[in-house]
C-alpha cells in the first residue's frame, strides 16, 4: 500500500512540474522567467551554499553526493527540470574519491602524464587521444565537466603549478590545449580552460596583482586562451584567482565580455576559480556567470541586490542563460547512465604509450642509450627510482589512481635485473622514512612535499656495484603543487647529497668503464648546467603518469624512440630567468616601501614584457643549458629545403624530412619567424607553427606542411590598440630547436596588415 502512495506522490509531483516550463522543452528564457529571485541567486552560485530553504537544502545535499570527491556542482531546480552539472578536476585525469561509503566498488581514475609532458610531445593527435580517454572516464564516472586543461604560460620556472601547465610559449600552449579540449569534449562532456588569466604564481594567489603590459597580455598571456577558444570551443572558461592590472579577473568586464566573448566569439559559460574574487555583483556584471563552489555570503549579497534593484535582474538572467545552456549539454541532463566502469586497462595503455612521446632526451654521449640487449644488470640509484617516484603533482592536479609503476617495477616488468644489494638498501631506507613522509604530508597538506635526503652508498659498495652491474641509472625527483611556489634551493638546484651521489656514482662507474644515466622525474625545470657533464645520458621523464616506470623503461630499452622536445627552456642559472627579479621567491628582494615588505607578494610586475622564455634568451644572446624545442632521438633527421607558398591569407611552408639514422623515429619540426625592423621591438624568434612527422623508418621521408596565417606575423601595438604586421621581409626558419635552425627562407609581406581591437 505504502508503495502505491509513494508512486502516486511522484506522479503528482511530475504533473505539477509539467505545468511549469521545463529545461530542454521550453525556451531557456521562459524557464528563467519562472525562477524566483532566491532561485536565481542560488543558480549563479555553486550548490555548496547549502540551499536557501529546506527543500533546496535537501536537494543540494543529495546533489553533492552525485560524484563523491568532485570539486563542485551547479544548483538543481527539479521543478523546472534543471539538473546539476558535476564539475571535477583536473589536468592529469579525473580527480574523484576512489572509495565510497557503503560500497565495495572502487572508483579509481587513470593518472595520465602531466600537462608539461603532454606539451613536450608536440603531438596534437596524441594529446587529443589522451583527452578522449580522460573525457571517457569523466563520462563513465558521472561527472559532466572536467576542470582542465590548465594552460597558463610558464612565466617563471618556480611556479608550483607549472606541471599543470603546458609551456612558456603561447602557440604551443594554445594548440596543445585545443587538442586536449577536442579530445575530452568528443566524449560528450565539457572542459574548463583555466586559469584566465595570468595565474603565473602560487604565492599569495588570492591577492596578488599581476601588472602586465597590454602587449605582453595580447601576445602571450591571452594568446594561448585565444587559440584554444577559437580552435576547440570549450564549454567553459575558469577565471583566475589573481588581480590583473588592479582588478580581480573574475570582476573585469573587458577581459570576459569584451575580449573573450565579443572579440574571440566565446559562446560558453564562465566560472570563477574556487572562492575566487571578492565582489559577486561585479562578477555578475563582468560576465563571470557562475561562482564556485558557492558561498552563503555571496548568495545573500546577490539576493539583496536583486531585491533592491542594485543589481539588475536582466544581468543575472543572462548569466543563468549561459549556465543553463551548459547544463542542457551535460550527460546528466540528457539522461546518460554512467557505468562507473571505464576501461582502465585500455587507458593504462594510453598513458604508457603517450608518456613515452613526451620524454626528452637531453644528452646521449657515445650512444649510452638505448640499453644494450646484452645488458645483464642495472644498478638503480636515487630514492625517486623507488617508492618516491612521482606520477603527477599534488593539489587539484592530482589523481586518485589505483597504482603507480615506479622505475624499479618498470625494470622488473621488462625482466631487466637490478642489483639486489641496492634494492634492499633503498627499500629499507624509504620504508624507515615513510612515517616522516606521511607525517609531513599531513602537516603540510598540498602545500609542500617532503624532501627525503639521498641515500649515499659507501665507496666500497659503489666499487663493487660498478664491477657487478652493466650500467648505473640515477633518478632525481621534484614534486610541487597548488598553493605554494618552488624555491631555488632544493627545488631548482640539486642538493649537496644529490650532487655527491651523482659524482660518486659517475666516478666509480666511469672508472670501471661503465655508463651512467640520469632520469629527471620532475614537476618543472631544474638546474642542469653545473652537473650535466658528469653522466653519459640524461632523460627528462617529467611526471609521466601511473605507468611511468614502464614508459621510461620502454624508452631506455629503445622499444620507443624518444621524440619529445622541451616546451620550456632550461636556463644556466636562476638569475638568467627574465622574471627572476619579479617573482616572489626568496630571490626577489624588491621592497614595497609603503608596506615595508621584503617580498613583492602583493603585486608582480611583469617587467620582462614579451621577453619570456626563449624570446628573451634568443633575442639577448644568452647561453642556456638546453634550449626551447630541444630533444635528441636515437636516430637522426635531415631537413630538406624550405619552400613557402600562400593560399589566401595562409602562409604554407613545405619541406621534406628524412630519417638518416638506423632506427625508426619521429621528428618535430618547429617554424619560427623573425620580423623585419619596424616601430616595435621584436623577439629574434617566435614560434608560429610546428608539426610532428609520422614514425619514419630508416631512409624514409615525409613532406610536411607548416601552415600559419598572415595575422600571425603581427605584434600588438599598444599606441593604436591594434595588431600590426609591417610590410617587408620576414625570415622563416624551420629547425629542430630554437637554436638548431636547419633551413630558412624569406617571405615578403607586400602590404602592412593591421587589425584594430577594443582597448582594455
Distance of alpha carbon 336 from alpha carbon 139, whole angstroms: 9
CB of 192 to ligand BGC, least distance (A): 7
Under 8 Å between Cβ of 618 and 738: yes
Q: Of 431-490, which residues contact ligand BGC (CB under 6 A)?
A: 482
Residue 474: Cβ-neighbour burial (10 angstroms; 0-12, 13-18, 19+): buried
CB of 484 to ligand BGC, least distance (A): 12
Under 8 Å between Cβ of 119 and 567: yes
Of 89 and 251, which has the nearer Cβ to ligand BGC?
89
Told to judge if 717 belongs to the known catalytic residues of this protein, a careful annotator would answer no
Instruction: For residue 247, list its beta bridge partners.
Output: 244
x/- letters, 338..367, toward ligand BGC (CB under 6 A): ------------------------------
CB of 275 to ligand BGC, least distance (A): 8
Of 90 and 370, which has the nearer Cβ to ligand BGC?
90
Give kind and range of the element (H or E) at residue 551. helix 548-557
CB of 396 to ligand BGC, least distance (A): 4
Selected catalytic residue, list 89, 169, 273, 470? 273
Q: Of 535-554, which residues contact ligand BGC (CB under 6 A)?
A: none
x/- letters, 381..400, toward ligand BGC (CB under 6 A): ---------------x----
Contact partners, residue 378, CB within 8 Å, separation at least 6: 371, 411, 416, 417, 418, 419, 469, 470, 471, 472, 473
CB of 444 to ligand BGC, least distance (A): 16
Binding residue (CB under 6 A) for ligand BGC from 194, 223, 448, 565: 194
CB of 354 to ligand BGC, least distance (A): 22
Of 89 and 168, which has the nearer Cβ to ligand BGC?
89
Of 90 and 564, which has the nearer Cβ to ligand BGC?
90
Binding residue (CB under 6 A) for ligand BGC from 251, 273, 398, 547: 273
Of 195 and 666, which has the nearer Cβ to ligand BGC?
195
Distance of alpha carbon 488 from alpha carbon 264, whole angstroms: 38
- If one asks whether residue 274 binds ligand BGC (CB under 6 A), the answer comes out as yes
Helix runs in 233-382, H state only: 253, 280-286, 296-308, 313-329, 331-334, 344-358
Residue sitting closest to ligand BGC (CB): 71
Contact partners, residue 117, CB within 8 Å, separation at least 6: 355, 358, 359, 542, 543, 544, 545, 564
CB of 90 to ligand BGC, least distance (A): 6
Of 194 and 515, which has the nearer Cβ to ligand BGC?
194
CA 354 to chain CA centroid, nearest Å: 15
Residue with cell 615506479: 406
Contact partners, residue 11, CB within 8 Å, separation at least 6: none
Of 153 and 361, which has the nearer Cβ to ligand BGC?
153
CB of 690 to ligand BGC, least distance (A): 27
Distance of alpha carbon 290 from alpha carbon 287, whole angstroms: 9
C-alpha cell at 82: 534543471
CB of 273 to ligand BGC, least distance (A): 5
CB of 37 to ligand BGC, least distance (A): 28
Q: Which of 96, 212, 225, 125 is nearest to 166 (CA)?
A: 225
- If one asks whether residue 255 binds ligand BGC (CB under 6 A), the answer comes out as no
The helix/strand/coil state of 747 is strand
Binding residue (CB under 6 A) for ligand BGC from 66, 147, 348, 399: 147
Q: Quote helix, strand, coil % in the chain, to nearest 5.
A: 35, 20, 45
Distance of alpha carbon 327 from alpha carbon 50, whole angstroms: 19
CB of 451 to ligand BGC, least distance (A): 24
Q: Give the CA angle between residues 20, 25, 27 to the nearest 5°.
A: 85
- Main-chain phi, psi angles of 646, to 5 degrees: -125, 155
CB of 236 to ligand BGC, least distance (A): 11
Distance of alpha carbon 285 from alpha carbon 251, whole angstroms: 8
Q: Of 222-241, which residues contact ligand BGC (CB under 6 A)?
A: none
**DSSP assignment of 165-179:** S--SSHHHHHHHHHH
How many residues lie near ligand BGC (CB under 6 A)?
9
Of 194 and 401, which has the nearer Cβ to ligand BGC?
194
C-alpha cell at 536: 653519459
What is the b/e burial string over 507-530, where b = at least 16 CB atoms within 10 angstroms of the residue's CB?
bbbbeeebbbbbbbbbbbbbbbee
Q: Which of 484, 406, 388, 387 is nearest to 445 (CA)?
A: 484
The helix/strand/coil state of 380 is strand
Helix axes 124-140, 170-185, angle to 10 degrees: 40
Distance of alpha carbon 45 from alpha carbon 553, whole angstroms: 47
Of 66 and 416, which has the nearer Cβ to ligand BGC?
66
Binding residue (CB under 6 A) for ligand BGC from 45, 49, 82, 89: 89
Under 8 Å between Cβ of 591 and 547: no
Of 142 and 393, which has the nearer Cβ to ligand BGC?
393
Give kind and range of the element (H or E) at residue 27. none
Of 122 and 225, which has the nearer Cβ to ligand BGC?
225
Of 292 and 357, which has the nearer Cβ to ligand BGC?
292
Contact partners, residue 477, CB within 8 Å, separation at least 6: 382, 383, 384, 388, 389, 390, 520, 521, 522
Binding residue (CB under 6 A) for ligand BGC from 63, 71, 178, 270: 71
CB of 70 to ligand BGC, least distance (A): 9
Of 147 and 359, which has the nearer Cβ to ligand BGC?
147
Under 8 Å between Cβ of 692 and 668: yes
Dihedral over Cα of 215, 217, 218, 221: its sign: positive
Distance of alpha carbon 148 from alpha carbon 334, whole angstroms: 22
Is there a cis peptide before residue 293, judged by omega within 30 degrees of 0?
A: yes
Residues near ligand BGC (CB under 6 A): 71, 89-90, 147, 194, 273-274, 396, 482
- Catalytic residue annotation: 273
Amino acid at each position: 500500500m505504502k508503495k502505491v502512495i509513494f508512486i502516486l506522490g511522484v506522479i503528482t509531483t511530475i504533473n505539477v512540474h509539467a505545468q511549469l516550463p521545463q529545461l530542454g522543452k521550453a525556451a531557456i528564457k521562459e524557464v528563467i522567467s519562472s525562477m524566483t529571485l532566491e532561485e536565481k541567486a542560488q543558480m549563479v552560485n555553486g550548490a555548496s551554499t547549502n540551499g536557501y530553504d529546506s527543500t533546496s537544502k535537501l536537494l543540494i545535499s543529495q546533489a553533492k553526493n552525485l560524484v563523491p570527491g568532485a570539486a563542485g556542482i551547479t544548483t538543481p531546480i527539479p521543478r523546472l527540470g534543471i539538473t546539476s552539472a558535476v564539475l571535477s578536476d583536473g589536468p592529469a585525469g579525473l580527480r574523484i574519491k576512489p572509495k565510497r561509503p557503503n560500497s565495495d566498488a572502487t572508483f579509481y581514475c587513470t593518472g595520465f602524464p602531466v600537462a608539461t609532458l603532454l606539451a613536450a610531445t608536440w603531438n596534437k593527435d596524441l594529446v587529443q587521444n589522451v583527452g578522449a580517454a580522460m573525457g571517457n572516464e569523466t563520462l563513465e564516472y558521472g561527472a559532466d565537466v572536467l576542470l582542465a586543461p590548465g594552460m597558463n604560460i610558464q612565466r617563471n620556472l618556480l611556479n608550483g603549478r607549472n606541471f599543470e601547465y603546458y609551456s612558456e610559449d603561447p602557440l604551443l600552449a594554445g594548440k596543445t590545449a585545443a587538442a586536449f579540449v577536442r579530445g575530452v569534449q568528443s566524449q560528450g562532456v565539457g572542459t574548463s580552460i583555466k586559469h584566465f588569466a595570468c595565474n603565473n604564481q602560487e604565492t599569495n594567489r588570492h591577492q596578488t596583482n599581476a601588472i602586465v603590459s597590454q602587449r605582453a597580455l595580447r601576445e602571450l598571456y591571452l594568446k594561448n586562451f585565444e587559440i584554444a577558444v577559437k580552435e576547440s570551443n570549450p564549454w567553459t572558461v575558469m577565471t583566475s584567482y589573481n588581480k590583473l592590472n588592479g582588478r580581480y579577473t573574475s570582476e573585469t568586464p573587458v577581459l570576459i565580455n569584451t575580449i573573450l566573448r565579443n572579440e574571440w566569439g566565446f559562446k560558453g559559460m564562465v566560472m570563477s576559480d574556487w572562492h575566487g574574487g571578492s565582489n559577486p555583483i561585479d562578477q555578475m556584471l563582468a560576465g563571470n556567470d557562475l561562482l564556485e563552489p558557492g558561498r552563503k555570503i555571496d548568495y545573500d549579497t546577490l539576493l539583496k541586490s536583486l531585491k533592491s534593484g542594485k543589481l539588475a535582474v536582466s544581468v543575472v538572467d543572462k548569466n543563468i542563460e549561459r549556465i543553463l545552456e551548459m547544463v542542457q549539454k551535460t550527460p546528466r541532463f540528457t539522461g546518460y547512465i554512467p557505468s562507473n566502469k571505464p576501461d582502465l586497462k585500455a587507458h593504462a595503455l594510453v598513458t604508457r604509450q603517450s608518456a613515452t612521446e613526451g620524454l626528452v632526451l637531453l644528452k646521449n654521449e657515445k650512444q649510452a642509450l638505448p640499453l644494450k640487449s646484452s645488458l645483464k644488470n642495472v644498478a638503480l640509484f636515487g630514492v625517486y627510482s623507488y617508492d618516491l617516484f612521482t606520477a603527477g603533482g599534488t593539489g587539484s592536479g592530482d589523481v586518485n589512481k589505483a597504482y603507480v609503476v615506479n622505475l624499479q617495477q618498470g625494470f622488473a616488468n621488462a625482466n631487466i635485473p637490478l642489483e639486489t644489494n641496492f634494492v634492499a638498501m633503498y627499500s629499507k631506507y624509504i620504508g624507515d622514512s615513510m612515517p616522516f613522509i606521511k607525517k609531513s604530508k599531513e602537516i603540510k597538506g598540498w602545500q609542500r612535499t617532503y624532501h627525503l635526503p639521498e641515500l649515499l652508498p659507501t665507496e666500497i659498495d659503489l666499487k663493487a656495484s660498478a664491477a657487478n652491474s652493466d650500467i648505473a641509472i640515477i633518478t632525481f625527483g621534484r614534486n610541487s603543487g597548488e598553493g605554494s611556489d618552488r624555491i631555488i634551493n632544493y627545488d631548482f638546484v640539486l642538493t649537496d647529497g644529490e650532487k655527491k651521489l651523482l659524482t660518486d656514482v659517475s666516478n666509480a662507474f666511469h672508472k670501471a668503464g661503465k655508463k651512467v644515466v640520469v632520469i629527471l622525474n620532475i614537476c618543472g625545470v631544474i638546474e642542469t648546467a653545473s652537473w650535466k657533464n658528469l653522466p653519459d645520458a640524461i632523460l627528462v621523464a617529467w611526471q609521466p603518469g601511473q605507468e611511468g616506470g614502464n614508459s621510461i623503461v620502454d624508452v631506455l630499452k629503445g622499444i620507443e624512440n624518444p621524440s619529445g622536445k622541451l616546451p620550456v627552456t632550461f636556463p644556466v642559472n636562476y638569475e638568467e630567468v627574465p622574471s627572476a627579479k619579479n617573482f616572489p621567491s626568496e630571490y626577489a628582494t624588491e621592497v614595497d616601501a609603503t608596506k615595508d615588505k621584503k617580498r613583492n607578494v602583493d603585486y608582480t610586475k611583469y617587467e620582462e614584457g614579451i621577453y619570456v622564455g626563449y624570446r628573451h634568451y634568443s633575442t639577448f644572446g644568452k647561453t642556456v643549458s638546453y634550449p626551447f624545442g630541444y630533444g635528441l632521438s636515437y636516430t637522426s633527421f635531415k631537413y630538406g629545403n624550405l619552400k613557402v607558398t600562400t593560399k589566401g591569407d595562409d602562409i604554407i611552408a613545405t619541406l621534406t624530412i628524412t630519417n638518416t639514422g638506423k632506427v625508426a623515429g619521429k621528428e618535430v619540426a618547429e617554424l619560427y619567424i623573425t620580423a623585419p625592423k619596424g616601430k616595435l621591438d621584436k623577439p629574434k624568434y617566435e614560434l608560429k607553427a610546428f608539426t610532428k612527422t609520422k614514425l619514419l623508418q630508416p631512409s624514409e621521408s615525409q613532406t610536411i606542411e607548416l601552415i600559419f596565417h598572415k595575422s600571425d606575423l603581427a605584434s600588438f601595438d599598444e599606441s593604436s590598440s591594434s595588431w600590426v604586421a609591417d610590410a617587408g621581409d620576414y625570415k622563416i626558419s624551420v629547425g629542430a630547436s630554437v637554436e638548431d635552425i636547419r633551413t630558412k627562407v624569406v617571405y615578403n609581406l607586400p602590404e602592412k596588415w593591421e587589425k584594430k581591437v577594443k582597448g582594455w
